[in-house]
Amino acid sequence: MINKTVPNAESATKDIGSNSVLMLGGFGLCGIPENCISALLTRDLHDLTCISNNAGVDDFGIGQMLQRRMVRKMISSYVGENAEFERQLLSGELKVELIPQGTLAERIRAGGAGIPGFFTPAGVGTEVADGKEQREFDGKLYILERGLIADFALVKAWKGDTAGNLIFKGTARNFNPLMAMAGRITIAEVEELVPAGELDPNHIHTPGIFVQRIFEGKNYEKRIEKRTVTP
Amino acid sequence: MLDKIQIAKRIAREIKNGQYINLGIGIPTLVANYIPEELEVVLQSENGLLGLGPFPNEEEVDADLINAGKQTISMVKGSALFDSSMSFAMIRGGHVDLTILGAMEVSENGDISNWKIPGKMVKGMGGAMDLVASAENIIVAMQHCSREGKSKLLKNCTLPITGIRCVRKIVTDLALITVMPEGGFRLLERAPGVSVDEIKSKTEGRLIIEGEIPEMVF
């Protein structure tokens, strides 16, 4: 079996350069590639384009990359909870492209699946439709959306094996399996890395063909944005 | 006038047995607390869960288990987890039976605005545009008027649109209203103590009143 293992986040991400287009998995702070982000923060990078559903919070996740002015453009569906983001956006340092969440997910899936475009009803009659081809199918209007790919996809899984097979946990799955398909180079960080053959093939969410590099991450903080409990 | 909890309670009465339901953030989230116990329904969270349960207790909190509002949650028995693409396949594909969400404005032909106020920080539409583009059955929970006292039930939306001709019902602090297929807000019920005249004066769009309008029952 092909071995995709690299030693750590630094070696996995060392060829990510300025001006790269990155996809980063996660929904809010759930299922984000913490180790890869930490490794990027030690580098002198700028003008990155980041495709991610959200932009982290001020001091965690992509928010930290924004603090260091590493990001030129964000492609996201929701970017609340981040004061530095707002400041850079209003000052023009940062560009943002907002995309309906389902459209974002499907654009990434399509990109990874070799589908250059598809029609969706989301955004018809709104500013999201501006400048896009519109077509009627069976009496209903749809807009053309394009597939998305990235130079590097940074994904986080629960378990993985040396062949790059991945299993996700809970709602930390979210955009990760889609982005894994859409990276020219996909880097997977996992909480537990095991030898090929130890994961049940019936339980694999992302087959190893989509993953070029895999490593076992460390010191996961897994910060919770809104801890809500039943008293 | 209804408070937020009463709005949620009234909406809960619209829920039918066997439905798969997506609840938006705010008042819609409260609806989950008032679904009659005899109904078997499944709540969908668009970040990738069918079978949303109550908030966990302190020991059960799991950072890998959150709802679309990023709150920690639990799962009910029989839950399923999936990725974001499959989640929106459920939504766009019409598999989710009922969508309950908040709004800033609704027009008399069922257009909804709820994602952007020009000149203010734009946070994004999240999943709202996908949800309203396909759902056959959308109930809006909102206040009848803005804080400045302006009607939010309009002839035409003034804010950027989230989706067109999609809202089916509206529950406000004053009334239960259905949006007619040919356009117009048809008044179905009034909140306890609220007169038809008051609802009329606070509805800018065309209000259709036929016969006696009953008071809501809880």
With an 8 Å Cβ cutoff, is A185 touching chain B? no
Asked, for residue A223, whether it belongs to a domain, the answer is no
Q: Which segments of A52-194 are extended strands (E)?
A: 71-76, 95-98, 117-120, 134-137, 140-146, 150-161, 166-167, 183-194
| Closest residue in chain B to residue A77, using alpha carbons only | B126
Tell me if ipTM is over 0.85. yes
Q: Which of B82, B158, B168, B96 is nearest to B130 (CA)?
A: B96
Q: Taking CB atoms and an 8 Å limit, are B133 and A29 in contact across chains?
A: no
Q: Taking CB atoms and an 8 Å limit, are A79 and B124 in contact across chains?
A: yes
Asked, for residue A91, whether it belongs to a domain, the answer is yes
Count of domains in chain A? 1
Q: B63: alpha, beta or left, given left = phi > 0 and alpha = psi -120 to 50?
A: alpha
The predicted structure's pLDDT at residue A87: 87
With an 8 Å Cβ cutoff, is A176 touching chain B? yes
Q: Which residues of B touch A227 (CB under 8 A)?
A: 61, 71-72
Measured in angstroms, the CA of B15 and the nearest CA of chain A are apart by: 24
Q: How many CB atoms lie within 10 A of CB B97?
A: 18
End-to-end, the C-alpha distance of chain A in Å comes to: 49
Q: Which residues of B are catalytic?
A: 46
Q: Which of B65, B62, B30, B32 is nearest to B48 (CA)?
A: B65
DSSP A43: S
Residue A51 CA to residue B118 CA, distance in Å, equals 24
Q: Taking CB atoms and an 8 Å limit, are A126 and B162 in contact across chains?
A: yes
Asked, for residue A127, whether it belongs to a domain, the answer is yes
Measured in angstroms, the CA of B196 and the nearest CA of chain A are apart by: 33
The predicted structure's pLDDT at residue A82: 81
The CATH class given to the B4-208 domain equals: alpha beta
Q: Taking CB atoms and an 8 Å limit, are B122 and A98 in contact across chains?
A: yes
With an 8 Å Cβ cutoff, is A29 touching chain B? yes
Residue with tokens 């020991």: B59
The predicted structure's pLDDT at residue B134: 87
Angle, helix A101-112 to helix B84-92, in steps of 10 degrees = 120
Measured in angstroms, the CA of B210 and the nearest CA of chain A are apart by: 31
With an 8 Å Cβ cutoff, is A61 touching chain B? no
Q: Which residues of B touch A222 (CB under 8 A)?
A: 63-64
- The predicted model scores a pTM of 0.97
* Residue B175 predicted with pLDDT over 90: yes
The residue among B153 and B121 whose pLDDT is bigger is B153
What average pLDDT does the segment A75-97 reach? 89
What DSSP assignment string belongs to B15-82? --TT-EEEE-SSHHHHHGGGS-TT---EEEETTTEEEE-PPPPGGG--TT-B-TTSBB--EEEEEEE-
pLDDT, one tens digit per residue, over B69-100 is: 999 999 999 999 999 999 999 999 999 999 99
Asked, for residue A51, whether it belongs to a domain, the answer is yes
Measured in angstroms, the CA of A141 and the nearest CA of chain B are apart by: 10
Q: Which of B57, B66, B92 sits opposite A230 (nearest CB)?
A: B57
Six-digit token string for B111? 């257009």
Residue A175 CA to residue B142 CA, distance in Å, equals 31
Q: What is the largest CA-CA distance in chain A?
A: 55
With an 8 Å Cβ cutoff, is A77 touching chain B? yes
Q: Taking CB atoms and an 8 Å limit, are B49 and A171 in contact across chains?
A: yes
With an 8 Å Cβ cutoff, is A31 touching chain B? yes
Asked, for residue A117, whether it belongs to a domain, the answer is yes
What is the domain range of residue A74? 9-216
Q: Taking CB atoms and an 8 Å limit, are B64 and A126 in contact across chains?
A: no
* Residue A231 predicted with pLDDT over 90: no
Residue B125 CA to residue B127 CA, distance in Å, equals 6
Provide φ and ψ at B25, rounded to 5°: -85, 145
What average pLDDT does the segment B159-183 reach? 97
Q: Which of B100, B108, B205, B90 is nearest to B164 (CA)?
A: B108
Q: For the ranges A79-83, A188-192, B184-188, which has the lowest average pLDDT? A: A79-83
User: Which amino acid makes up residue A174?
Assistant: N
Which CATH number does the domain housing residue A206 bear? 3.40.1080.10
Q: Taking CB atoms and an 8 Å limit, are B64 and A109 in contact across chains?
A: no
Provide φ and ψ at B5, rounded to 5°: -65, -40
3-state percent breakdown (helix, strand, coil) of chain A, nearest 5: 25, 30, 45
Q: Taking CB atoms and an 8 Å limit, are A228 and B71 in contact across chains?
A: yes
| Closest residue in chain B to residue A141, using alpha carbons only | B133
Residues 2 through 21 of chain A touching chain B, CB cutoff 8 Å: none
Q: Which residues of A touch B129 (CB under 8 A)?
A: 100, 102-103, 122-123, 126, 128
pLDDT band with cut points at 50, 70 and 90 for residue A85? confident
Q: Taking CB atoms and an 8 Å limit, are B83 and A174 in contact across chains?
A: yes
Six-digit token string for B46? 């668009």
Measured in angstroms, the CA of A18 and the nearest CA of chain B are apart by: 26
pLDDT, one tens digit per residue, over B33-55 is: 999 999 999 999 999 999 999 99
Asked, for residue A221, whether it belongs to a domain, the answer is no
What average pLDDT does the segment A76-94 reach? 88
Q: Taking CB atoms and an 8 Å limit, are B64 and A29 in contact across chains?
A: no
> In a mutagenesis test of the A interface, which of B70, B121, B165 is the best target, namely the one with the most A β-carbons within 10 Å?
B70
Residue B59 CA to residue A69 CA, distance in Å, equals 38
Return all residues near A138 (Cβ < 8 A) that are at least 6 apart: none
DSSP β-bridge partners for residue A5: A214
What average pLDDT does the segment A192-208 reach? 98
